[in-house]
Structure formats: C-alpha cells, structure tokens
C-alpha cells in the first residue's frame, strides 16, 4: 500500500513539474500579435489620358446643335398636330338651334 502511495505521489509530482516546465517555455516566446495584417498588392495608380480641350469644345458645339435641331423638329410636329381653330358658326348651340327650328316646322 505504501508502495502505491509512493508511486502515485511520484507520478503526480512528475506531471506537475512537466506541466510547469511546459508553461514556462510558452511564456518565454513572444506573444502572438492581436492585429490582422492585410497582405495585398498596392493599389495601381490611375493614369488618366490628357484631355483635348479643342475636341471637348467641338463635342459640346455638336451636342448643342443636335439639341436645337431636335427642338425645332418638335416645334414643327406640335404645330402640325395642333387642332384647327373651331368655327363659332358650327358650334353645338348653333347646329342644335337650327335642327330644333326645322323640327318645329
């Protein structure tokens, strides 16, 4: 019985010492960083072509001319589709009055 207690004591002491030495080895290492690092390619620089001011002004003038032409075309269509002026002598009251007169005779 004493031999069992001595073996259990020796075994527990060995386990405790091995666990303590394992913890000491870990504490000696540098702690792991807590921040995330992004490893990516640097952003490509944006290289825009130089603008041609003369071409831009020609494009603007062409767009303005197209807009004015479209406005003129729309105005012509509006004038052509405008209802004709109604003659007052052909109104509902006049024709109705004429028809009533004919019915009385």
Residues 27 and 34: their CA atoms lie apart, in Å, by 16
pLDDT, tens digit (0-9, with 9 covering 90-100), for 43-59? 888 888 888 889 999 99
Radius of gyration, CA atoms only, the chain:
51
94 Cβ contact list (under 8 Å, min separation 6): 88
Q: What is the mean pLDDT of residues 66-94?
A: 86
**By three-state DSSP, how is residue 90 classified?**
helix
Residue 11 backbone class (left: φ over 0; alpha: ψ -120 to 50; beta: rest): alpha
pLDDT, tens digit (0-9, with 9 covering 90-100), for 21-44? 655 545 556 666 677 777 777 788
Residues 35 and 18: their CA atoms lie apart, in Å, by 32
Whether the CA torsion 89, 93, 95, 98 is positive or negative: it is negative
Output the CA–CA distances (angstroms, integers) from residue 77 to 21, 49, 65, 70, 73, in the order listed.
Answer: 97, 43, 18, 11, 6
- Entry pTM: 0.36
């Amino acid at each position: 019985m004493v031999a069992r207690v001595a073996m259990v004591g020796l075994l527990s002491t060995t386990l405790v010492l091995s666990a303590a030495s394992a913890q000491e080895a870990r504490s000696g290492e540098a702690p792991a960083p807590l921040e995330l690092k992004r490893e990516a390619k640097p952003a490509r620089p944006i290289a825009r072509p130089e603008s041609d001011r003369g071409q831009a002004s020609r494009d603007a003038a062409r767009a303005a001319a197209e807009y004015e032409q479209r406005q003129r075309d729309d105005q012509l269509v509006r004038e052509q589709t405008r209802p004709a002026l109604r003659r007052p002598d052909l109104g509902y009251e006049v024709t109705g009055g004429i028809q009533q007169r004919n019915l009385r005779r």
